[in-house]
Amino acid sequence: MRGRDRRRGGERPSMDLLDRVDAPAAYESAPNQAPPLADYDAYGCDAALREGVAANGAAWAGESLHAVGRRAGSAEAIAWGFEANANPPKLKAFDRYGARIDEVEFHPSYHALMATAVEFGIHAAAWSDSRPGAHVARAAANHVWMQTDAGHGCPMTMTHAVVPVLHAEPTLARQWEPLIFSRTYDPRLVPAERKGSAIFGMGMTEKQGGSDVRANTTRAEKLGRGGPGEAYALTGHKWFCSAPMSDAFLVLAQAPAGLSCFLVPRFLPDGSKNVFALQRLKDKLGNRSNASSEVEFANTYGVLVGEEGRGVRTIVEMVNVTRLDCIIGAASGMRQAVAQAIHHASYRSAFGKLLVDQPAMRNVLADLALESEAATALFVRLASACDRAARGDAHEARLKRIGTAFGKYYVCKRAAGHAAEALECHGGNGYVEESIMPRLFRESPLNSIWEGSGNVNALDVLRALEREAGVLDSYRAEVALARGADARLDAASADLDRELADGAHLETRARYVVERMALVFQAALLVRHAPPFVADAFCASRLGTRHGNAYGTLPVDVDARAIVERAAPR
């Protein structure tokens, strides 16, 4: 098939895409339709990600990331994602005799996705690998692999995020870290010690409080002397309990001294089942392959992590880590959406031209690609901050703190509109379930809601600016590295300083200020590291005045063709 003219009218796709993809035979009988995007390297074709990985100390991970990319782009893994979402998990609360078993049944494809993610270390490699850049490498692998299916990313994120919390109780860390660091996945509901591996979930929110976890009513009573590392009995409920077939969970409950953090295992120390009564699974808009449950505790065994009454402070590091994964997840969906849209437009023609060669469509595709690249640059820089903060760099720790909050707000907010526009690029083909686009669209609001919705994160940025010394200085220092390179960026940075100085109206303007913080930061990264045609287009459209509210309204003098070619899934 290579080199043949496969289009009506003798036209060949631009960017030589057809020279790189062997279309299936079915394409021959369906002219003017794009073949499936499959059997490609999802990492290798992502120039922004590859460059970011290399620039942030993780070039050593290139071979393994290409392996992740080839697996993620394989027809087999893509099929796993479709099958896991078409066959959502089922609650098995009772066995045939009426005895409670509290299990969730998943499709085999879900387990295949989980096993592959664990094999690649997406659940824990940032902690188990001591090389500089380990967080960047793990973030990149997560970004690439979750393009197959976002649902199983939940237990991967929870397991990844629990590790720094366990450090608050060394005894628990010694018990659980070797199991977490295992690269084998065992879905059986048996004690983790028998499996030699462990996956974690989390239960924070309750029906009466939601994000206001201090309103939680689940109570914890001492089973002995109490204190860190000691056993308690928990009674109450959790409105959202993530990944209920996990081996253990971090949960919040009210101990005698106040809201506290507990590790709740599915099995007791003697090997018998802990009380973990699954009430129902949530029927969710998206994230269909993943189980989110309501669970009741009745004298359920838990171990105190950290001090009594300091549960929020103990678990906040887990929240911050999961918020970075929210940014990665939103960026992952954007990248998959851009790849699908450009692929489709490179085969589909209308009115005598390929869509990708038509100025209006090329403008849309370039605008979507800019959004994707800016999101990628942001999460890679924040992952790098995690690496450097772990080595004692105070500036990087402050940057990680503020960047995760404004990145979680802005990137996740952009995901839904991005998915909708990318879907529209396919026309009616994008609206049917046989394409991945409806799934990407349904998934797109989740990361903005998970771990604190928009206002929670915007206000968290203001809280950090007010209470944590040096955070704003670190932000400004990072932006200043790009000073003088683009007049629009310099002007936007100065305008942001004026907004931040207006303390009387800062909370009312929280969303606007936090959005501008994210945009200025993204622009500074692109000016420093991206090709000039990318940085210029981003500054012109996001910081300038020549851009509309919809995607596809880039100024006429940007190099849209070069942007699209850079983002194409070759």
Q: State the 10-residue block means of pLDDT for the chain, 570 residues long.
A: 31 38 54 94 98 98 98 98 98 96 98 98 97 98 98 97 94 97 98 97 86 87 96 96 95 96 97 97 96 97 96 89 97 98 97 96 98 98 97 96 97 98 97 96 96 92 94 97 97 96 90 97 98 98 91 96 96
Token pair for 477: 């220092």
Ranges of beta strands (E only) in 183-321 are 200-203, 219-222, 231-242, 248-255, 258-265, 277-281, 292-305
Amino acid identity at 269: P
Q: Pairing between strand 90-94 and 100-105?
A: antiparallel
Q: Could you give the residue range(s) of every CATH 2.40.110.20 domain in the chain?
A: 84-309
Count how many Cα atoms sit within 13 Å of the Cα of residue 374 in the half-sphere of its side chain: 29
pLDDT of residue 50: 98
105, β-bridge pairs:
90
Nearest 5°: CA angle at 20, between 17 and 22? Answer: 105
Distance from C-alpha of 384 to C-alpha of 460, rounded to nearest angstrom: 21
Q: Which amino acid is at 381?
A: R
Instruction: Please give the full DSSP string across 278-297, using - where no structure is assigned.
Output: EEEE---SS-TTS-EEEEEE
Closest by CA position to 295, among listed 365, 248, 238: 238
Residues 6+ apart with CB under 8 A from 93: 100, 101, 102, 277, 278
Q: Supply the CATH classification number for the domain 313-567.
A: 1.20.140.10
Pairing of strands 219-222, 231-242: antiparallel
DSSP state of 542: I
Contacts of 434 (CB under 8 A, 6+ apart): none
CATH level 3 topology of 84-309: Butyryl-CoA Dehydrogenase, subunit A; domain 2 (2.40.110)
Domain with CATH 1.20.140.10 in the chain: 313-567
- Going by their DSSP bridges, the two strands 277-281 and 292-305 should be labelled as antiparallel
Q: Which 8-state DSSP code applies to residue 237?
A: E
Whole-prediction pTM: 0.93
Task: Give the CA distances from residue 72 to residues 76, 88, 446, in Å, rounded to whole numbers and listed in that order.
Answer: 9, 20, 21
CA-based R_g, the chain, Å? 24
State the pLDDT at residue 544: 87
Residues 6+ apart with CB under 8 A from 259: 213, 214, 216, 252, 253, 309, 311, 312
pLDDT score, position 15: 42
Pair 180, 162: CB distance under 8 Å: yes
Q: How many CB atoms lie within 10 A of CB 119?
A: 15
Which residues, including other chains, have CB under 8 Å from residue 268's CB and lie 6 or more apart?
274, 301
Q: Rounded CA gap, 540 and 172, in Å?
A: 51
d(CA 387, CA 163) in angstroms, rounded, equals 15
Q: Report d(CA 190, CA 103) in Å as an integer.
A: 11
3-state secondary structure of 274: coil
Helices and strands (H, E) in the chain, number of each type:
21, 11
